[in-house]
Amino acid sequence: MMKNPFKRNTDIKTVSQQQINRRNFISFTAFAGFSAIAYGGWRWLNSLPVETSGTTAGANKLLRRALDKNELVLRNAFSNNHLVQTYPKSMAAKVVRVNSNIGMTDTSFDSKTWQLVVNRKNGTQLKLGLDDIRKLPKTAIVFDFKCVEGWDQISHWGGVKFSDFIAHYNLQEEAAMQYVGMATPDGKYYVGMEMASIMHPQTLLAYEVNDQLLPDKHGHPLRLIVPVKYGIKNLKRIGSISFSDERLPDFWAKRGYDYYSGL
Ligand SMILES: Nc1nc2c(c(=O)[nH]1)N[C@H]1C(S)=C(S)[C@@H](COP(=O)(O)O)O[C@H]1N2
Ligand SMILES: [Mo]
């Protein structure tokens, strides 16, 4: 007789009702177990400590919490006023690396007429020259400057502590806000960050490197030195400073880098 290839195998093993019951029981137990784990995980996510206000305020809780867990941990570590490691001046690089110069190529820029524009909360502007800033108490720091591109270098910077600057110009109302933004005079490079980092005791508005006025390539007349952040946040050639309770835009965050970019 020809074998019919389409004919189903009639030689089916008889499966007892008992076996079926047992299989059903096993799969039901497994399903219940996984469900419990999933539910527990969801409950755990929801029970995570509420984040410090500001950072991700208003964002989808569950999603943001997962995305910003790193930031949360860092920010919490931060509230202890944790300082970055500093080094003796003798360890500072004599030839300081130059990275990029976005926002520093405007040929009409004139450092002699440059002014730092501070946008106050009440809508007025404070305009300062480098001489004004150099009158404030000077602070220096030697620390390991880190670029996200993979290099780091111990370097020596001098300027005014951002917190001293705030106190001297009575910008306490501004400092009580959640975020700071800084931009180059042409607006082409800009950074945004949370207030804690900018008010950190090691953050400087710097006008010197290795005890000399900053050369153009390092951000003359004034740059940000924020040692608790990667290089990308250390804006060179500051044109303006703004304050807000909302996250202010950030050049590299817009291009997919971590907004926090903390160490
Ligand atoms: N205006 C401006 N500031 C900037 C940048 C830039 O391209 N333009 N690059 C940032 C990056 S990625 C780094 S690592 C540091 C490098 O600073 P340096 O050139 O003084 O070493 O500057 C930061 N500040
Ligand atoms: Mo960088």
Look-up of token digits 């390092």: 218
Q: Residues near ligand 1 with C-beta < 6 Å?
A: 97-104, 147, 184, 189, 218, 231-232, 234-237
Gap from CA of 146 to ligand 2 centroid (Å):
7
Residue closest by Cα to atom 18 of ligand 1: 98
**Ligand number nearest to the C-alpha of 250:** 1
| Distance in angstroms between the alpha carbons of the first and the last residue of the chain | 79
Which atom belonging to ligand 1 lies closest to the Cα atom of 237? Answer: 1
Written out in words, the top-level CATH class of the domain with range 61-100+111-255 is: alpha beta
Stated pTM of the model? 0.76
Per-residue pLDDT tens digits of the chain, which is 263 residues long: 555 656 665 555 555 666 656 666 556 566 565 566 665 555 555 555 444 444 444 555 666 666 666 666 666 555 546 999 999 999 999 999 999 999 999 999 999 999 999 999 999 999 999 999 999 999 999 999 999 999 999 999 999 999 999 999 999 999 999 999 999 999 999 999 999 999 999 999 999 999 999 999 999 999 999 999 999 999 999 999 999 999 999 999 999 999 999 98
Q: Whose atoms come closest to the Cα of 217: which ligand?
A: 1
**How are beta strands 223-225 and 204-209 bridged, if at all?**
antiparallel
- Give the atom of ligand 1 at the shortest distance from the alpha carbon of 230: 14
Residues 262 and 74: their CA atoms lie apart, in Å, by: 7
